[in-house]
């Protein structure tokens, strides 16, 4: 017994509208979709009734009929991470502009979840799936996931923020190398030559690329690479930054600058440095990736690489919509980051120059 659908409140359909307007359901549909001519007089009558009853066409019925749901499925690693939250909201806004609705699923680091989400979105008959984070970040793509996706892509196109080798997913990525260039060049210009790199796992594509680029950049400026200035595999959280920085400082290793793999790691790094009685940026500069709001909350505020989430979202949706419509798009699109200089980076200490 559904209390929310009493007799006087039955949910109304185009047939109800049609009957009262003295036209056929087809005609009501025509004014709804607005892609066929209807005599103005009738159109007005229909419009008034729609208004009167606050009629909203049933999206399920519509998509059943034209096999397009007008919804974009999004799988994110975790929206509680502001990086994904920023991207998701940017996508939502862009999608709305394009006439689409989004449906968000969080995989929360669970590989099984990712596959379940894929299936769920498939059941919902979303028109396209965008995946950000998770398996698509892997340096070497997971075989069974690739198979799953390939199977799915027989019917639903996908766009990812990383890659998925062996699939035809569209890739919209931030230019990780360029990010590293921005950060290292900024530091080197400030006179730094002992630059640490902390956080991140090497089996993550973007991290791996950053690490490679870091080495290239050092050698470009004739700075020797030092094993003791980079963390072995770590994570992307506060703990990672805090632990590695503590270890480094504890061993008497004193870089003049630290590149954190993201804003969270940076927070841990900053805390460790401050607890060691050192000042940022006077003694040590700290820079990072992502430019989430965390970088503005911290004291000092962080110098960080920004991705321009708004245009990232737009590009993602643009690509997704193009994929739906079967229009050609480049398989890989790289987005340029920009550097946001704040308080956490400064000239290298005198003694080091």
Partner DNA sequence: TTGAAAGCGCTAACAC
Partner DNA sequence: GTGTTAGCGCTTTCAA
List interacting residues with DNA (CB under 7 A): 11, 13-15, 22-30, 32-33, 35-39, 41-43, 55, 57-58, 61-62, 64-67
Q: How far is the CB of 24 from DNA (least distance, A)?
A: 4
Residue 256 near which of DNA, a copy of itself, none (CB within 5-8 Å, type-dependent) = none
* For the chain, the helix, strand and coil percentages under 3-state DSSP, each to the nearest 5: 50, 15, 35
The nearer residue to a copy of itself, 105 or 172, going by C-beta atoms, is 105
Contact 224, 200 (CB under 8 A): no
Residue 2 near which of a copy of itself, DNA, none (CB within 5-8 Å, type-dependent) = a copy of itself
Contact 296, 280 (CB under 8 A): no
Rounded CA gap, 233 and 288, in Å?
17
Residues at the site binding a copy of itself, with contacts judged by CB under 8 A: 1-6, 9, 11, 54, 56-61, 63-64, 69, 71, 78-80, 82, 85-86, 88-89, 92, 101-106, 108, 119-120, 122-125, 151, 153-157, 238, 264, 267, 270-271, 274, 293-294, 296-299, 323, 326
Q: How far is the CB of 3 from DNA (least distance, A)?
A: 17
Total number of residues shown for the chain: 353
- For residue 132, what are the β-bridge partners? 76
Rounded CA gap, 327 and 320, in Å?
10
The nearer residue to DNA, 42 or 342, going by C-beta atoms, is 42
Q: How far is the CB of 321 from a copy of itself (least distance, A)?
A: 13
The nearer residue to DNA, 28 or 183, going by C-beta atoms, is 28
The nearer residue to a copy of itself, 26 or 59, going by C-beta atoms, is 59
The nearer residue to a copy of itself, 57 or 349, going by C-beta atoms, is 57
The nearer residue to a copy of itself, 322 or 334, going by C-beta atoms, is 322
Rounded CA gap, 328 and 333, in Å?
13
Structure tokens at 312: 């990232």
Alpha helix ranges (H) inside the chain: 14-21, 25-33, 40-53, 59-66, 82-97, 111-123, 143-152, 176-189, 205-220, 238-250, 263-275, 294-297, 309-324
């Amino acid at each position: 017994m559904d209390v929310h659908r009493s007799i006087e409140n039955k949910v109304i359909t185009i047939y109800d509208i049609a009957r009262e307007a003295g036209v056929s359901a087809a005609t009501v549909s025509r004014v709804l979709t607005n892609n066929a001519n209807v005599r103005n007089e009738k159109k007005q009558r229909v419009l008034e009734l729609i208004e009167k009853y606050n009629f909203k066409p049933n999206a399920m019925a519509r998509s059943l009929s034209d096999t397009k749901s007008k919804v974009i499925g999004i799988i994110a690693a975790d929206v509680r991470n502001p990086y994904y939250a920023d991207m998701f909201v940017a996508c939502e806004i862009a999608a709305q502009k394009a006439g689409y609705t989004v449906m968000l699923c969080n995989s929360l680091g669970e590989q099984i979840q990712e596959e379940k989400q894929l299936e769920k979105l498939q059941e919902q008959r979303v028109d396209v799936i965008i995946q950000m984070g998770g398996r698509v970040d892997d340096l070497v793509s997971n075989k069974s996931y690739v198979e799953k996706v390939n199977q799915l892509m027989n019917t639903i196109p996908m766009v990812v923020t990383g890659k998925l080798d062996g699939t035809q997913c569209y890739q919209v990525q931030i230019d990780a190398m360029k990010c590293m260039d921005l950060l290292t060049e900024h530091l080197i210009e400030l006179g730094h030559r002992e630059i640490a790199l902390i956080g991140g796992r090497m089996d993550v594509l973007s991290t791996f690329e950053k690490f490679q680029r870091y080495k290239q950049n050092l050698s470009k400026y004739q700075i020797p690479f030092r094993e003791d200035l980079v963390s072995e595999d770590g994570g992307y959280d506060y703990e990672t930054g805090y632990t590695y920085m503590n270890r480094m400082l504890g061993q008497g290793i004193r870089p003049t600058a630290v590149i954190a793999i993201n804003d969270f790691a940076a927070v841990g790094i900053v805390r460790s440095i401050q607890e060691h009685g050192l000042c940022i940026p006077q003694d040590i500069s700290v820079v990072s990736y992502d430019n989430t709001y965390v970088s503005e909350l911290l004291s000092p505020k962080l110098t960080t690489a920004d991705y321009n989430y708004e245009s990232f979202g737009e590009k993602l949706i643009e690509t997704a919509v193009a994929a739906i419509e079967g229009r050609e798009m480049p398989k890989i699109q790289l987005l340029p980051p920009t550097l946001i200089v704040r308080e956490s980076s400064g000239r290298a200490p005198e003694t080091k120059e």
